[in-house]
Structure 1
Amino acid sequence: MKRKSDHTNKITRYKREGRKLLDIQWDEKGQSLYQSIRYITENINGDICTSDYNASKVVVVTASGEYRFSYSGHHSQSGFCPYGICTDVLGHILVCNNYFTFNENCFSVHLLDINGHFRSILITQDQCPKYPCALCIDHQYNFWIGGWECSTVSVYKYLQKTEK
């Protein structure tokens, strides 16, 4: 992902050899897709999932750059400022909500399905590190989350691995 000098954000896809494939910057109406991309990941279906902190939404486009959907938080929380984002083996999208004001915090981790529909809040403010900003899922399906301004990484069992 690149930020141009005029402060417009875009994603640039490259071939393995380093040749540029395409820039992803505009929707079908010519509107900018991004304001301030923080994190990016690729889903199992090839979708590109980004957290856009200033726009307060997750933006998902196809591998060819077509807009699929955006997610702006759940009504149970008064604010949404997405930061860390990752996907799991089922195509779910997990995203840190780093929303805070001087009198309210909504630190949490949201779980979306592959089509951007809200499934649940995985980690609530009581369980979440302060200012959650980084997350990943390891090969044992453990969910790791780290917070900005703290020296703690929390690990949760996320999915059960089944043996064949």
Structure 2
Amino acid sequence: MVVLGYEKQGGGTKTQLPTSDEGVRINQIYRTTIKRIFDAFFGVLLLICLSPLMLVLAIWIKLDSKGPVLFKQERVGRNGKRFTIYKFRSMSDDAPHQMAISEFDAALSYITRSGRLMRKTSLDELPQLVNVVKGEMSFIGPRPLIPKWGMKLLVGNEIVGKQSCFTKSR
């Protein structure tokens, strides 16, 4: 006989594993509610705490090269939904916008002085906290794709992928 998730057997109790339906429901609650609360809370907290650093970086970018402080690029997120991702501009304003840096000819020639340090330390990605607070991205998981690649990202949009936790791709 099963009572409230425990199976009674001859005087003792034995823990019953959740059924696959329960596991799916728990995963949905985590993905839709708990993860979103975590992302929103820590996104706002980090934006507040890091805003002085972000202001200094914005001034440095403006003094270092002409053009906007933020780099905006269209990305494809969950279920093919498109959104604008924000980063500090680390390349000159005349660099191609809707392509991956690996597709550039002489990519290093486009990187600004401030951009070298920001890319090395990943400070150029701080504005993505705005995407996290807006619910377009999450902190952990795969990165959203550039639409040019013609692929749909069927999972979430996150700042840090599992492999990124252990390696640096720059």
**Which bin holds the TM-score, normalised by the shorter protein?**
under 0.3
Give the TM-score normalised by the residue count of structure 1: 0.25
The structure with the greater share of residues assigned to strand is 1
Give the TM-score normalised by the residue count of structure 2: 0.25
The structure with the greater share of residues assigned to helix is 2
Bigger RCO of structures 1 and 2 (CA < 8 A, at least 6 apart): 2
